[in-house]
Amino acid sequence: MDPEYRSIARILATSRAPNIIAEVTQDLLVRWPLTAMPLLAASRQLELLGQYIATLRVRAYRNRIASTEERARLQRNAVDRAAHWLVVGAWQREAHGISDQTDRQAIAALFKVAERSSGLPALALLAGVLRAMQAENVVDPLVEQCAVVLANVVRELGSRDEGFGGENGTAALIMATGVVDAMAPGHVRMLAGQCAAMVAAVLDPQSGVLGMERIASQEFCRQRVEHVVVREIGGVVRALTVLIDSPALALPDAARIPRLLAYEQAAAKLPLQLLAATVLAALHVLEAVLQRYFIDDAGPNEQLLVDLWVAVVDAMACVHFATLAGPAPWRSGFIVARPPRVANAAVRRLFHSQPCLLYMAARPVWGIHAVRSCTVLFYMDLLEHLVGRLANNTLMTMVLPLVTRYADSNALQYAGPDWFESAHAVVLAVLEAVNSEDSAVQAEGEWRRAALVVEVVPWYTDLLLELYPGRGISGELLLIAYTAAVRAATAHSAPVLAQDADAVPVNLGYALAWERVEALERKIDAHELMLVLLELLTAVPLELLPKLMDKFRVRWEAEPEWAMRRALLDAAQDMVVERAELARKPALAMWTWKMRTEFNAARI
């Protein structure tokens, strides 16, 4: 504690005269701050003073109880002990209390002066007293009285003309949220409107501590040291997360937070250290919002939750380099907590809240500004995790038109490998959703699934063959993606089509799968493509398996190099053992054994 506060602390902690307590407290609050120091640091000094006063009085009272009980124990008999308690029993012996009647009146005088004075110094002093009572496990009516007075002070502070703006609001937010856990739920709810106003003021771009425009201003940078600002930002983030976790912040008020954290315009003006600190602070606050409302306590109002989720995601998209961050609650919390119809509605709202997404789906990659391109990367990264919950119409009209722009070689050349890989990850997630029994596409019925398959599989397999091997698609990615596409076409029973009543019915899925096999065969000119054809034995339907085995065997026998033929046989054996499903294992095992026998005989 600062030396200027020590003499005041001794008087307020030991005096039992209410009039003296009132006069000293009034003088302290009027003259505050006593020394030249930053506003937040001065508030901390008052908070420490409040903690010292409450702690010293509680412990002194408990020491007097212990001393009295010890003297009572030393009395000669029960009669003497009863007489002893009659003499000293004018004050309360409850160990969890705070003081006797005289001390109680002195502390009540302090509360009365603080409530009358109001303002930030009164808030800091009361916050320290309440925090100390919580730490000392005090059970006393004075605790409730302190909470009520603190709520009144916060309300009065918010009703003033300056409200919670600037540093004053920052310090008030940190002081108030620091004791939220010590207040009863009813008192916390009394702060709801004031807490929402404090959050808005602290995050205000022009005046708040997390306001990017304020931090980026030249005047601010000249007046403040970077590490001091970083420390202030850390304190505000801790305060905001406490506030978000408490019942003080209602869902409609929480929905305003993400809109205040869109830093896109001012990010380029900040020094690197401040930019990193501010962006990380924003991400922590946004994750706290998602954790509270989508994982810990998902509310029943789906429309408000959709609004909040879209606002959070849009705010995160403004932090361009956050697209490469690791897993976070925004990737899974909403998916787990809500039904598919809500996730689908949220993504549709997302595209409408960001018109640039639909705009960029219709423009060439090289004509897109770098900033907007980074925004697209963020959304593609997000959509990869949401595809399984999206309806067929959303995928075909919104997601896939955007993704197709970044899945070809132009994206690799003009945007970068991150965009290219993210687009292919989204397409693979779509193919996986087609195969998944619990995806939204499956729930819509066979015809809608078939429409998506006919749209995606031919385009994607042709693109893979076009980009292999020198335009971004490696042999390993080709094997995984091509197999997934063929499996998506045939994983479930597809509609049967016929031109007329006398025509032979055609299974759409089987026909599409075989057409893709023949497209691959026409392209085969390397060992890696033969491995892809071999892997398709695990993807085609059982009815087409003998036909594909014969086709591969013809290709294998035409291979002139014995070493290549042996390598293909080894790969076939690994495929049968490790990846083939049980229903096709016997046929594939017999087929591989026959080829191995013929190969060994020919070598002899």
Beta-carbon neighbour count of residue 370 at 10 Å?
11
Q: Nearest Cα to 274, choosing from 211, 317, 316, 318?
A: 211
Distance CA(259)–CA(285), nearest Å, equals 12
What does the mean pLDDT of the chain come to?
Answer: 75
pLDDT at 480: 92
pLDDT at 482: 93
Confidence of residue 428 (pLDDT cuts 50, 70, 90): very high
Distance CA(485)–CA(513), nearest Å, equals 9
The tokens of 180 are what? Answer: 């939220």
Residue 104, in any domain of the structure: no
Q: Nearest Cα to 173, choosing from 72, 43, 24, 38?
A: 43
Residue 559, in any domain of the structure: yes
Please give the full DSSP string across 140-176, using - where no structure is assigned: SHHHHHHHHHHHHHHHHHHHSSSTT-HHHHHHHHHHH
Structural domain count of the chain:
1
The tokens of 461 are what? Answer: 């397999």
Q: Answer yes or no: are the C-beta atoms of 432 and 425 closer than 8 Å.
A: no
Query: Could you tell me the maximum CA-CA distance found in the chain, to the nearest angstrom?
Result: 117
Residue 596, in any domain of the structure: yes
Buried b (16+ CB within 10 A) or exposed e, 189-202: bbbeebbbbbbbbb
Within 13 Å, how many C-alpha atoms sit on residue 570's CB side? 6
Residue 579, in any domain of the structure: yes
Question: Mean pLDDT: which of 183-187, 291-295, 554-558 is highest?
Answer: 554-558
More confident: 82 or 126? 126
Q: Answer yes or no: are the C-beta atoms of 332 and 309 closer than 8 Å.
A: no
The tokens of 342 are what? Answer: 């809500």
Element (H, E) at 581: none
Residue 578, in any domain of the structure: yes
Residue 228, in any domain of the structure: no
Confidence of residue 401 (pLDDT cuts 50, 70, 90): confident
pLDDT at 237: 73
Element (H, E) at 257: none
- Give the pTM: 0.68
Residue 320, in any domain of the structure: no
Q: Exposed (0-12), middle (13-18) or buried (19+): which is 141, by Cβ within 10 Å?
A: exposed
Residue 583, in any domain of the structure: yes
Q: Nearest Cα to 117, choosing from 193, 24, 203?
A: 24
Structural domain that includes position 569:
544-603
Strand partners, 414: none
pLDDT in tens, 454-511: 889 999 999 999 998 888 888 889 999 999 999 988 865 555 555 555 554 567 778 8
Q: Answer yes or no: are the C-beta atoms of 236 and 173 closer than 8 Å.
A: yes
* % the chain with pLDDT above 90: 7
Q: Once rounded to an integer, what is the mean pLDDT over residues 531-545?
A: 89
